[in-house]
Amino acid sequence: MSFAFVFPGQGSQSVNMMAAYGESKSIRAAFAEASDALGEDLWTMVADGPAERLALTVNTQPLMLTAGVAVWRAWLAAGGAQPAAVAGHSLGEYSALVAASALDFADAVRLVRLRAQAMQEAVPAGTGGMAAILGLDPQQVAAACEQAAQGQVVSAANLNDPKQIVIAGHAEAVARACEAAKALGAKRALVLPVSAPFHCELMKPAAERLKAALAEIEVRAPVIPVINNVDVAQENDPGRIKDALVRQAYLPVRWIELVQAMAARGVSRIAECGPGKVLAGLVKRCDAGPEALAIADAASLQQVLESTKG
């Protein structure tokens, strides 16, 4: 039975989120390695919070990367098999590349800290915004954004499931797009409490900084197929992997197509590898065929382990 792993990104963090996995040497060792790479105690940060500290982009990105890698290592330590493919939602793609041995963990931790800083600094505070549009398909959301742009930037940022699309851009354009979406029949148009408008053209300055940083980092051909967000493609060439990571900063996360691509590969089960169950929920709503699982605690790790044997 073919299974795949997907790694969560920003939005799945919570104070003490690693406690659900119990006392795991693999998890503590992963956090120690990441802390050494940054010169900052990530374990204490995630254990003690407060939530506002974890929600800061410069902290969220290295924390969620580390959490995903830590759970991956706990999976391996428990005797877990290698999945047929891996992927990640936005930031989670870096966890997937570490799991696939394409990117050294310490390099990835430092890289996503820089990525977070670059994204935060790309747009002045209050200039950008994001919103979740519920109940419209991608084509309807695109129409709402086109109508609302009026010379500003607003576009789909996360195509999460067939009826949940997140948009990003200039705050005023996002507000106009929310009204346009409601006029088209959206069930809800909810402005999100984010610090920057991720995955839109306003992130191009961040992408340039990321490109410069990636030029100094070794990326190898993955030992497990990694399906990327930006092209929904498996790349083996290190240069193409880097290019996809750069473009990912300002182009949308194509999650619906990614789940469909895994199904087309014969994947029958997709397991979320990391805290929370956000991606498992999205996989279910994409209705592409694979069963959705989540390794959200020690018990579910064992359950997924048993379900993937044989």
**Range list of β-strands (E), the chain:** 3-7, 85-88, 128-134, 154-161, 164-170, 188-191, 269-273, 291-295
| Contact call for residues 229 and 255 (beta carbons, < 8 A) | yes
Contacts (Cβ under 8 Å, ≥6 apart) of 44:
none
Query: Which H or E element spans position 223?
Result: none
Cα 198 from Cα 228, distance rounded (Å): 17
Cis peptide bond prior to 252, omega within 30° of 0: no
Listed in sequence order, the residues at least 6 apart from 293 whose beta carbon sits closer than 8 Å to its beta carbon are: 269, 270, 271, 272, 280, 300, 303, 304, 307
Counting every residue written for the chain, the total comes to 310
Residue numbers annotated as active site: 90, 199
Given a contact cutoff of 8 angstroms between Cβ atoms, the answer to whether 121 and 112 are in contact is no
Asked if 262 and 234 touch (Cβ cutoff 8 Å), the reply is no
Nearest to 261 by CA among 288, 240, 221: 288
Burial of residue 181, with CB atoms counted within 10 A of its CB: 0-12 exposed, 13-18 middle, 19 or more buried: buried
DSSP 3-state of 53: helix
